[in-house]
Structures are given as C-alpha cells and as structure tokens.
Amino acid sequence: MTGLLHQIASGIASGAIYASVALALVMIYQATHHVNFAQGEMATLSTFVCLTLIQAGIPFWVAFVVALLLSFAFGAVVERVLMRPMMDAPVLASVGVFIGLLLIINALDGWIFGYTIKPFPSPFHSAHAMLGGYVSPHEIGATALTLLVLVLVWLFFRFTTLGLAMRAAAHNPASARLCGVRVNLMLSLGWGLAAAIGGAAGIMVAPIVFLDPNMMSGILLYAFAGALLGGIDSPLGAVIGGFAVGVLENLFGAYVVGTELKLTVALVIIVAVLVIKPAGLFGRAVHSRV
Amino acid sequence: MPDDISPAGTVPRAAKPVLPGRFTSRHALWMGLFLAVMVSFTFFADSYRLFQLTMLVVYAVAVLGMTILTGYSGQISLGHGAFFAIGSYATAILMSNYNWPYWATVPVAAAASALVGFLIGFPALRLGGLYLALTTFALAVAVPQILKVNALSDLTGGVQGLTMDKASAPFGLPLTGDQWIYLFSLGVGCVVFLMAWNLARGRSGRAMLAVREQAVAAEAMGVGLAGLKTRTFAVSAMITGVAGALSSIAVQFVAPDSFNFFLSITLFVGLVVGGVDSIPGALFGGAFIEFIPNIANDISKAAPGAIYGVILIGFMFLMPRGVGGAVVNLIRRAAGRGTKAGLAQAPAAE
C-alpha cells in the first residue's frame, strides 16, 4: 500500500511536468492548428540557458526568471520568422519545419553545451524528506511551482483583456481582427508564452532526470499523450491529461510492464485515445462539413 | 492591415499531381544506361565503396516506401524507422537463430512489416494527417525500448543485438561477398522500384492521388477511404521493411540503438530532399542519407543534426518538391513543355 502511494505521488510529480508541456502544446495547437514537435527541444534550450546563468553566479530564482524571459523572446521570434509563412501551408510543410527546428536546436545544444549529462541544482532544499518519505522536497516544490504557473496562466486568460484578446485571436482570427485585435501580435505572444511555460517545465524536471540535449524527448512523448488524452483543443484537458499520464505511466511502469517499457505506455495511450475517443476527454468532437 | 484578412502563404503548395506516364522507349533507354552504370560499379569500386553503394540502394528503397505513403496518399509518417527495424530484425532473427538463407528471409521481412503497418495504420489513418504524424512519432521514439525488452531477448539478442554470417555468391560465381550483396540489393531494389512504379500509375495510384487531393470527392466516386489509406500504409511499411532486410544482409549486425528516433527522422529528411511525390527522387534521397552524414561527421558531432534541420527548413521554403521535382521540371522545360509546375497552385494534401 505504501508502495502504491509512493508511485502515485511521484506520478503526480512527473505529471505536473507533462501537464505544463502539454499545455504549451495545446496553446499553440489552439491558435495555429499546428503541433509543435520542437516544444521539448525549446524547453531543453531554456534549461541550458538557466544552468549557464546559475554557473555564472546568478541566484537560482533570478536565473529562472531571466531564462523564462529569454525563452519568451525566442518563442516569439520563432513564430515571427519560421511559422508565420507556414500559416496556410499543408501539414507536411509545417511538420517538416518543426522537425527541422527540433534538429537544429538539438544540434545547437550539443554543440554549445556539450553532450555530457549534467546535474542541475534544485532550488528546493530540505534536510529531510516530507510526507513520510513518499516524495522528495524537490518533487513537492516542482509540483507546487508548476501548479502555480498553471493557475497564473488560467487567471491571465480568464481575467485580463490581453488574455481575452489572445483567446479571441485563437478561436476566430477573422472576427477578432475585425474587432481590432492584432491577431499576428497575439500569435507571437502565444508562442512566447508557450515557450516560457515549456521552459519552466524543463528547469523543474532537470534536477530529477539530469540535463543533456535529449532530456525532453521522452517527456514530449508523454506530453503528447496527455494532450491527446485531455483533448488537443482543451487547455484544462491538457493539464488533467498530463497528470493522468504521469500517474498511469508510473503505475504501469511499477506493476504491469516494468520500467523498460515506459515509453511504450505513452504510445499505447496515444493509440487507445485515437481509437476510442479521438476528441479526448475534454475536447470538442470536430465534424467537418463538405 | 487589410492584407492580413486573407493571409497568403508564401510557401508554394504541392504542385499539380503528376501521374507517372506510360513507359516509353526513352524511359527504357535511360533506365538501361543507369542500371549499366550501377552494375559496372560492381567491378570497379573497392569493397568500402561497394558497401556505401549497397546502403544507398537500401536507403533509396526505404525512402521509396515513404514516397508511396506521403507523395501518393498524402499521409505523413515520422516513424518509418520502426518498419525498417522490423524488416531488419525479421531477417536477422531468421538468419541468426534459425539458419535461414538470406534470400529467403526477404519475403518474410516484407510480410511482417506489412502486417505491423496495417495494424498501426488502421487506427491512425481514420484521422487527420497530424494525428498519424503524432502516432508514428511516438512509435519512432518507443522502438529501441521495445527491441530491448528482456522477455524477447532470446529472440532479439536484447541490448547486444544479433550478428549474422556474410552472404556469399551462389552458383560458384567469381564474385566476392561484397560484390554479390551489392548486386543482390540492386536486383531487389529494381524489382521494388518497378512494382512501386506500376502501383503508382495504375488504378490504385490514381485512387491514392484522388484521396490526397480531395478526399471527399474521391469517396463520392467510390474510393473506400479508410481501406485504401490503410492498405497504402501497409504497402509503404512493406517496402521500407524490405529495405531493412537488405540492410541486415549488408551490415550482418542488428542492435536496438541503430533503430532510434534519428533513423526515422533521417528517412523523413531523405523523403523531403528527394521530393515527396517523385519515385526517381527516392534515389536522390537515398544518396543524401548515405553520403551527407559521412561528410558532416567530419565537421563535428553536432553537424549532421544541424545540417538536416537547415536542409529540411530550406527545402520546405524553397524547394517543396525536392530534387526529384526540380529535375522533372528541368527536363520538361528543356523539352519545350515548360509548365512552371513548381509554382502552380493546387489543392493541398490536408
């Protein structure tokens, strides 16, 4: 029983990371109907930047904020330069550009920062494990911080004018434009925000999985599974889906398939969702008309 | 911002579909010449060059599988490395564990890949192209883990992989093993290319193109959408599986980490470089996959990834029909039938 509780607790901790990346994916999907295959690599780049800042002697939280601001700017630039011309392109072209971006960022990470696996400092120190040793202080801190980010994002979209404008631009660009919303600017902001959320997830997971250029490839897969499970067009669904995938992955890994097949769990979840309920748990079913 | 209301993509859409034409005597002449050159390499090239040429054929066949899928039915796969792996492992397991002769394993490898392709394609193909890309992406990432599973290690050799004996020339032909393997791969490659050519210009090819251009209209004309897409996926997986089998025979070794995500991406890059809807373009794709990483590796460890990425984005923006499309265009223009096909606007895949 304690083993089960332990698995669920650490599943929630990794679920928080998946939820953040899934949210970043869904935000971009909602606005552009593209899936950003480079989301994970962008987060890894943010994490490397953060580590570099910390090693330069900057306090953790300052480095954290600066890295997220830089990620925001990077995301906005990528949207402006690479994605804007792809807005109406066929799926193949956008997938090609995203995969290209993934490869370039991955190579840049390796080239600049090296391929050795690096430890990453955790900001959450504690002499003793909390909650009877079920979870580490870092897991609790990371989960809390992720939840805080998610709540902030929700508040932003729900209660600010800018958030409303961004939602309008994502849902109905033509009408939003006629109401005076600068849709293109909103798309850039959305990309920036998604990059920052992904970056926060990367920095929070790095102390657990250690940092190397391929750190996020598995995590991106779980985030895909979470986003599909929750419904690829539902931000709330993505968050719940991310947590669910985290718990499922840990339980299956511990009791059913063993840790060596954990990535396959994500594959099975993706296929199962697409077969049984393609719209996901919280998504809207899309009916296309001729 | 009035121009914002109808944002015009600067990326040219896929051009009007070009059905492979009738097989004319000029085609036969060019192909004969090309084959003669390829066969002559058997006697001029040293064994290292022969191995590289063998792998060129292998990758060209693998890319051809993706051409059938993406170019003809408009579906995107980021996980064809998985089918390459299934073909490779089918051959390796039969040769290494059961002492089958190498040539007999190729049909089994083809059947195994086709079956798995059918099973994977069936759920994903009922949905939009993006979902298939996602599913196959997941497949590509998960493959090495599946190959390493302990429960299967008696069969697959686990992390260590499997080694095989080298094939030797039959009937007492005066050829070295490398020469024979090259000729064997070339022969199988020719058969597969001819089959793909016939498939593409026949009834199935037309149905696939119709589905790519206008799925609803195709369905209205009696094309069974889900069935056709699933069968196309299975054929595509089968062709790439054959490539995997040939690669096992040539390399005489398989291990899980050769079939990682990067292999799938490499095949995807080869597809884009060769031209998604060009059957001869698969050859350019194969040459690109075999030779560019060798050159790039001399520069730095990070270089292949960066070069692939830059080339992918560059081709998407500047040459969306790849080398194959560009060559076809050049030939047409030279022949006085210039249509500027590369710039023509046509309904896109999805």
Q: How far apart are the C-alpha atoms of A70 and B115, rounded to whole Å?
A: 47
Pairwise CA distance, residues B95 & B104, whole Å: 9
The amino acid occupying position A4 is L
Are the beta carbons of A37 and B137 separated by less than 8 Å?
yes
- pLDDT exceeds 60 at position A239: yes
A184 contacts B14? CB cut-off 8 A: no
Q: Give B-chain residues touching A290 at CB under 8 angstroms.
A: 216
Q: How far apart are CA A235 and CA A239, in angstroms?
A: 6
With a cut of 50, say whether residue B345 has pLDDT above it.
no
Does A100 sit within 8 Å of B310, measured CB to CB?
yes
> What's at B165, amino acid-wise?
D
On whether the CB atoms of residues A216 and A37 are closer than 8 A, the answer is no
DSSP helix/strand/coil, B262: helix
Determine which helix (DSSP H) or strand (DSSP E) holds A45, and give its type and residue range.
Answer: helix A39-55
State pLDDT tens for residues B168-182: 767 767 777 778 888
Cα B123 to Cα A91, A178, B98, B128, B209, distances in angstroms: 19, 40, 33, 11, 21
B162 φ, ψ (degrees, to nearest 5): -130, 150
Split at pLDDT 50, 70, 90, the class of B10 is: very low
B272 touching A (Cβ < 8 Å): yes
Residues of A in contact with B8 (CB under 8 A): 88
**Mean pLDDT estimate for chain A:** 84
Contact assignment for B309 to A260 by CB distance below 8 Å: no
- Which tokens is B214 given? 């206008």
C-alpha to C-alpha distance for A109 and A101, rounded to whole angstroms: 12
State the DSSP string of A166-203.
HHHHHH-HHHHHHTT--HHHHHHHHHHHHHHHHHHHHH
A42 pLDDT band (50/70/90 cuts)?
Answer: very high
The reply to whether residue A107 touches residue B148, judged by beta carbons under 8 angstroms, is no
ipTM of the complex: 0.81
**Rounded Cα–Cα distance for residues B228 and B163 (Å):** 38
Say what the pLDDT of residue B83 is: 92
CB of A162 within 8 Å of a chain B CB? The answer is no
A185's CB contacts (< 8 A; 6+ apart) are none
3-state secondary structure of B143: helix
Residue spans per domain, chain A: 2-276
Q: What is the sign, positive or negative, of the torsion defined by CA atoms of A180, A183, A185, A186? A: positive
Residue % of chain B over a pLDDT of 70: 86
Spatial distance between the Cα atoms of A104 and A99, rounded to a whole number of angstroms: 9
Q: Quick check: B139 contacting A, CB < 8 Å?
A: yes
User: Which residues of chain A make contact with B5, given a CB cutoff of 8 A?
Assistant: 174, 177
Distance CA B41, CA B36 (A): 9
CB–CB contact B133 A290 (8 Å): no
Taking CA atoms, B264 is separated from B77, B78, B333, in Å, by 9, 6, 34
A1: pLDDT confidence band, cut at 50, 70 and 90? low
Name the nearest CA neighbour of A27 among A213, A223, A288, A274.
Answer: A223
Chain B, nearest residue to A91 by Cα: B350
Considering CB atoms only, which of A101, A225, A271 is closest to B309?
A101
Nearest chain A alpha carbon to B268: A96
Chain A residues near residue B124 by CB distance under 8 angstroms: 271, 274
Q: Which of B67, B73, B76, B141 to mutate to test the interface with A (most CBs of A within 10 A)?
A: B141
User: Is some CB atom of chain B closer than 8 A to the CB atom of A129?
Assistant: no
Strand runs labelled E in chain B:
162-163, 253-254
Amino acid at B134: L
Write down the pLDDT at residue A130. 56
Q: What is the largest CA-CA distance in chain B?
A: 76
Enter the tokens of residue B72. Answer: 């003809």
Q: Hey, are the CB atoms on A104 and B305 less than 8 Å from each other?
A: yes
SS3 B162: strand
Specify the residue for token string 């390499």.
B41
Q: Are B127 and A183 an interchain contact pair (Cβ–Cβ within 8 Å)?
A: no
Q: Which residues of A touch B14 (CB under 8 A)?
A: 90, 92
Q: Which domains does chain B have, with CATH numbers?
A: 39-165+174-343 (1.10.3470)
* CATH numeric code, A2-276: 1.10.3470
Q: What does chain B come to in residues?
A: 350
pLDDT by residue (tens digit) across B191-246? 888 888 888 787 777 777 777 777 778 778 777 777 788 888 889 999 999 999 98
